[in-house]
Structure 1
Amino acid sequence: MNISKVNTLVYLDTMIVFIGALVWTGLPLYFFEMTGSYFYAGSMYLIGGFSFILSNIVSNYLFKVLSKYTAKFFIITLSILTIVSFFALNKQLFNIMFCLMLAFQFFINGLSFILESGFNMYLSNQPHKDIAYRNMFLLSAKTIGFFSGPILFIFIGEEMYLFFLMFFVALLVYEYLYPIVPRLKIESISLKNVGIFKKTPKSYLFIMFIDGMFLPIVMNYSFIILKETFSVSDLTVSLFWLIGGVSVLLGNLLIRRIDIKKIHSRVYFIMIFLIFGLILMILAPNSSLFLIGFFILTLINPLFMSLIKSSFLVFFDPNYRSIALAGMNTLNQLGTILIITVITFMLEGSKFFNIHYIIPLCLCIGVIRFLILKNILKRGVQ
């Protein structure tokens, strides 16, 4: 595959991620504004987690056996879901919207998985730089989507889905003219192929599970903390997403410029900065310092994520990387589902746990993640 084809995979994935980001941040705030419920506010990570796991497994199989038609199927289904979601949201049928959100995120994640699987077939001997290159585009999309999602859904509401529909129709026309993903020789998930994870160090599997518990807590509940503790405006909430997106993008730009081994020697220094950002968020007397702490946190976190993801993928032959990606994403989302579920029930039902305990909990999880990563780097596993 030539470079222009690889770039096409990245560009289209960027647009898919952009739509996912709009829904990811826009609907939870919209639900929270309409209901005041923590359950509705936290619904996107729960629903997104379940759909992400299912989409990785199913999409891996479809990519193997129906690579010529899978993208068309996903795009057509997304077009139908956008129409149904428009009418459900218009009628404020929130219970039905949960099912539609699950399906919408399933097919959004599935289409993105197909595009990423094609991209991962061509990782170089510096995989962290390839991943950072792709991440720069996707994180730019997430930054714009996270920033504009709350504003657009509050002021435009269900009509956002009409814009999504226009994109999916245009993408379907493009797919018929120029097939997005060609036939690639890959392995799909099966009972036999799942055995390849046996050669993966258990510490890698565990750290990806823990990693799924870390940043989603901050991303999902910080805007609620800003609302309840500092009584900020919706514009400040959007600024929160913008700051996070810009800092993550800068973190990936930094990764693109340095050798992965140089990060190893600075892991303690990196962790100190991460802890500083979290402590600043915990002790912040106003929203400005809270946002500064969030900026530091999201600037440093990509360094940890890059070490984990790139080291894991290079364990596998290119033909098996779509399986590796599915396994990695599944573990990550299982961690997210577990922690969000526990926090949601504690916020709704416990008298001894409140929103102010979430960032300290994130600090504890971050330290555990660091200790596992330090052990991995000490052993020199690449």
Structure 2
Amino acid sequence: MKDVLLVLNTGSSSLKFQVLGYEGFEVLANGKVTGIGASARLSATVADAGRTIDSPLDGSDHDTALSAVLDLIDRFDDGWRMVAAVHRIVHGGAQFVEPVIVTPEIVRALKALNPLAPLHQPYNLAGIEASDRLAGHAPDIACFDTAFHAGHDPLFQTFAIEKPLRDRGMRRYGFHGISYEWIARALEQDHPDIARGKVVVAHLGNGASLCALDNGVSVDTTMGMTALDGIPMGTRSGAIDGGAVTYMLRALGMTVEQVEAALYEHSGLKGLSGISNDVKTLLECGEPAARFALDYFTLKVSQYAAMMAVSMGGLDAFVFTGGIGENASPIREAIVARLAFLPPFQTLVVPANEEMMMAIHARALLEARR
């Protein structure tokens, strides 16, 4: 019998998963269900069986998606015993600053944070609820994207608003913390000299942010109270004048739902280009609007990188990670070129591995209970 961890990243229309060995964290199976809510489809690879699966599913909700993953494990496992389902949760608020074993009370507390991450949190929790129904024999463990930033100095957490609003949780939390924690760990293992320095990490994907790591500790980050703030992203606006939001509501007569959709779903690279939120598509496109969108993106990443350097009082290295950061060399080169006025710094590309970081946390939590 081989103990395994099922690591899940549940979104509104997709469920990404990995089956990792409990002892060595080797990847035994991985894949995703796409088209949740429409025409769901499972694509997966089982390592030992040498099998690749790509098939439509009979159903399209989150239960169907997770059932397909569990069925895959049952069909192709080699004596696997799932000891926990590990879930990525975008927002832990001020309360959840380390991984936890999920209880009904914790689910209720996390649901209260749904308005702070409307595109992510409800679906992250749908994954937990599906797991509880379908695989209740194994505990659910929640890992939080906000937790790695929980120790920020108040200077980097606080909004310049009155105290009654601050007391109601209006502050900067930061996100992509699981990714940044993995980068800090990877640097310590592979580049210890860099790890001990002042490092800006750029997690660039459809969601994007920057983090200031000083001796492996998060000092500052570009996202704030929600995952909308900071640099522009695939479909999200990034930082925008708060007065622009009130203008949309009052002068343009938009509803709250319309404003939310505009800023979360129709802005960023997609909104600027009018073509796509996909960087590869924009790089290959000859349209001026595509070039403008990419120039805007690299400008903002560079500007915020300089801000992160100010927060640390220096810059020794710049690390790229995430889908864009790892694969789009023209974007990396444009960002580094804009920062050429700074004293020399090292540049690295470190692959993201949030699943491994989640597995490490889950095993530590389970071992502590024994």
TM over 0.5: no
Q: Which has the higher helix share?
A: 1
Q: Which has the higher contact order (CA 8 A, sep 6+)?
A: 1
TM-score, reference length from structure 2: 0.28
